[in-house]
Amino acid sequence: MIRKLTALCILLFSLLSARAQHKTPVDYADPMVGTSESRWILNPGATMPFGMVQLSPDNQSTDWKAGYEYTIGSISGFSHIHAGTMAGLSVMPTTGMVNPAIYPPDAPSTTGRTAGHRSRINKSTEQARPGYYAADLINYGIKAELTSTTRGGFFKFTFPETHEAHVLFNLLFPAEYPFNVLDARITKVSDTEIEGYSRQQSGNFMRAGGFNDYTVHFVARFNKPFKLFGGWKGHDISTNITQVEGSGDIGAYVDFDTKAGEVVLLQTGISYVSIAQARLNMQQEMDPFQWNFAAARQHATDTWNTLLSKIKVEGGTEENKKKLYTNLYRSYCARSILSDVDGKYMDVCEQERQLQDPASPVFGCDAFWNTFWNLNQLWTLVNPDIANQWARSLLEMYKTGGWLPRGPAGFEYSGIMEASHEIALIVSAYQKGICRFDTALAWQAMLHQQTVNGEKHPCSGFAGNKDIQTYMQLGYIPQPGRVSNTLEYAYDDWCVAQMAKSLGDTGSYHQFIWRAANYQHMFDPQTRYMRPKDKEGHWLENFNPITTGGYTEGNAWQYSFFVPHDVNKLVDLMGRDTFNNRLTFGFEQSAKLNFNAIGDKPERVYINHGNQPNMQAAYLFNYSGKPWLTQYWVREIMNKFYGADPYNGWPGDEDEGQMGAWFVMSAMGLFETDGGTAAKPIYEIGSPLFDRVTIELDPRYYPGKTFVIEARQVSDGNRYIQSATLNGKKLDKPWFYHAELVRGGKLVLQMGPAPNKDWGSKAGDAPPSMSGAVE
């Protein structure tokens, strides 16, 4: 009996192992991870990479981090747009009496009537996969399934038997950023199709109305005729009409008779240009599938699997594979495409424009604030064509609006966050040979951004850096301005200097490399912190590195390590022992909070991985002679900060895929503290999670076929590098050149349970930076 049980156990284990081995990357990506306490832009819905349509369930009231909350067991609608500061077109199937009201999730929900049209859902049958979402709506006995194309939504509703089956189209509904419907119209085109538009204005989560106004145009078609078209304006519901129009709370609905288990299919297309363009988007993207929902879903799955398969891993735990591919998925689904399938789009002045190459779209996001520590390096390495497209998109907005955008959020110069770090993406792309964009225009745009004071744009929003002239005159931003602005402007100056160097513009190089040292004007040699001072040069009194203000979403302790381009000089200024001791203390304290700012004791926050200002912190030990501490703390962040379930995906603000991209780079064992913007970009080495990582290199940009990172005997305990070789040659430093990687080959790391304090720690082993360049 024991032998039989043993044999059975071995067989079951073998079957489970074989099943795990046959899982593809898309099978590991779980859109439900992190959906508790998550942003509007990080939802479990059906979307394509950078989808204009991000079709997802909503269940919260308007508030910061509104949208979908995993712990709420109800849904009020499935909306098409989940972009930074943007929302649009919510769809909800119901039965019984038509009720367009949307009440808060804590309202009574025993029937559809007492809670508006919100419905409880069966959490045990809820599903989310890349490109697919499904939920059973208990109140109505309806199964709702969603998939999407880039600019269209595809719904599959399985109804019960009823003469009162409805599909509601809401134009005003709760979102993370509140918005007003200024003008809207929905029209019955036929007994299978409706069309309409909603002109909207959004602001921030504290203020409804402000910088961003745009129009969502849409077309919706059904696979069977509806028997009635109706609409509402506020509390007034009308039936048997052909059109509804107005402002504020406005919407429409269609009615069906359905048999038990009958499927009603709905396809939609949206556009920010016109209804005709929405129809074009729908026809070009949906017609190939006819009414085959399964085929559309498979297309979405295949698209995601192709993208995620650019990185293949072997070994490691199943949980870490889930983390890797979920984070990789998030790095491509929070930002969105704004242009139509034929390249038409609306510029910042709300004028219709036409792209020369529709395949290289206009993108939208809220900002590029510190993406040089995450998204930039992932895109330029794994998907260089996407990085190229983003650069072209940024330059398109410069060409039509006169400034590089920080996002843009929607179609506007939002003014969100500080500095102009979109420059870092363009420069990094250029330095890595990803330069199928107008280089002369890019150079002109950077110089304009870094030398002309920002302004309220005549069309909308705020463009540029508002205090760049003061920075140029004094070499820093005095009180009451932010210390952090000086540091961030200096980094952007470094990026411009490196671009000038690569272009052979010696005069501009010397001008901007001089400016790149301006961060030193904020360094107080007495306290050894970046400290506020006035325009006469007097340091702020009563200074506390944790509580003193003047730092964007951070504090002096964090920003005193914010010199991405000149870490070697910072180590000298601070003193190597002070640098290492302070940084180690910060990590030890922050590990107790899983490296996230939580609770009511913000003074305890040192390493806040839940926000952007010091996501580079763990890699700084590579510069200070203790690379084994980089290896230790990178692993601790990956273990403690990142989770693999709905409750613990990314505490803090996972801002449009940034934390996801950081995890992917770190899981492979790579990082770029200077954002890959040096004339000769490099990668620093951390502590990989997997036995073997294979990066598929894009032959359109890089000469090698693949690059392999092999970590021998790696495990959570064996996180320390004992020795390394690069393409068979001994590597004694914790970094190597990007050019070596993209030629293809292999990095082999011998891992062990104890630090090898001799590896990578000698004088001269530190990665190069502005004041310690390696030629």
Domain boundaries, the chain: 29-306, 310-338+566-775
Average pLDDT over residues 372-378: 96
CB 759 within 8 A of CB 630: no
Q: Which amino acid is at 242?
A: T
Q: Please report, to the nearest 10 degrees, the dihedral formed by the alpha carbons of residues 548, 566, 676, 38 taken in order.
A: -10
Q: Which amino acid is at 217?
A: H
Distance (Å, rounded) from C-alpha 68 to C-alpha 77?
10
pLDDT confidence of residue 113: 45
Overall CATH class of domain 310-338+566-775:
alpha beta
Q: Which amino acid is at 534?
A: D
Distance (Å, rounded) from C-alpha 429 to C-alpha 485?
24
pTM reported for the whole predicted model: 0.95
pLDDT confidence of residue 16: 46
List the one residue out of 435, 434, 428, 465 whose CA is nearest residue 448. 465
Average pLDDT over residues 70-91: 94
Element (H, E) at 46: strand 46-47
Residue 696's CB is within 10 A of a number of other CB atoms, namely 16
- For the chain, the straight-line distance linking the first and the last C-alpha, in angstroms and rounded, comes to 70
Element (H, E) at 322: helix 318-330
Lowest mean pLDDT among 206-215, 291-300, 428-437: 206-215
List 496's β-bridge partners, or say none. none
Question: What are 507-551's pLDDT values in tens digits?
Answer: 999 999 999 999 999 999 999 999 999 999 999 999 999 999 999
Element (H, E) at 250: strand 250-258
Average pLDDT over residues 475-482: 96
3-state DSSP assignment of residue 502: helix
List the one residue out of 312, 359, 293, 298 whose CA is nearest residue 146. 293
Average pLDDT over residues 399-417: 86
Q: Which two tokens stand for residue 508?
A: 């501009």
pLDDT confidence of residue 417: 84
Residue 248 has, within 13 A of its CA and on its CB side, a CA count of 6
Spell out the alpha helix ranges (H) of 504-626.
506-515, 556-559, 567-574, 576-591
The residue to which tokens 């409750």 are assigned:
647
pLDDT confidence of residue 12: 47
Average pLDDT over residues 401-405: 94
pLDDT confidence of residue 37: 85
Question: What are 194-223's pLDDT values in tens digits?
Answer: 999 999 988 654 443 456 889 999 999 999
List the one residue out of 52, 103, 53, 49 whose CA is nearest residue 77. 103
pLDDT confidence of residue 13: 47
Tell the CATH topology of 29-306.
Beta-galactosidase; Chain A, domain 5 (2.70.98)
CA distances from 228 to 89, 113, 257, 347, 637 (A): 20, 20, 10, 38, 56
When the pLDDT of each residue in the chain is averaged and rounded to a whole number, the result is 93
pLDDT confidence of residue 21: 58
Percent over 70 (pLDDT), the chain: 94
**CATH topology identical between 29-306 and 310-338+566-775:** no
Does residue 115 carry a pLDDT above 70? Answer: no
CA distances from 770 to 513, 514, 674, 716 (A): 8, 11, 10, 34
Burial (CB count within 10 angstroms: exposed 0-12, middle 13-18, buried 19+), residue 351: exposed
The residue to which tokens 């084994």 are assigned:
628
Q: Please report, to the nearest 10 degrees, the dihedral formed by the alpha carbons of residues 40, 43, 48, 50 taken in order.
A: 30
Distance (Å, rounded) from C-alpha 316 to C-alpha 715?
7
CB 9 within 8 A of CB 289: no
pLDDT confidence of residue 598: 72
Cα angle for residues 108, 113, 115 (degrees, 5° grid)? 35
CB 389 within 8 A of CB 361: yes
Confidence of residue 366 (pLDDT cuts 50, 70, 90): confident
Q: Which two tokens stand for residue 93?
A: 């199937």
pLDDT confidence of residue 40: 85
3-state DSSP assignment of residue 273: coil
Does residue 34 carry a pLDDT above 90? Answer: yes
Average pLDDT over residues 154-181: 95
Q: Which amino acid is at 254?
A: V
Q: Which two tokens stand for residue 656?
A: 């449009």
CB 557 within 8 A of CB 578: no
Does residue 19 carry a pLDDT above 70? Answer: no
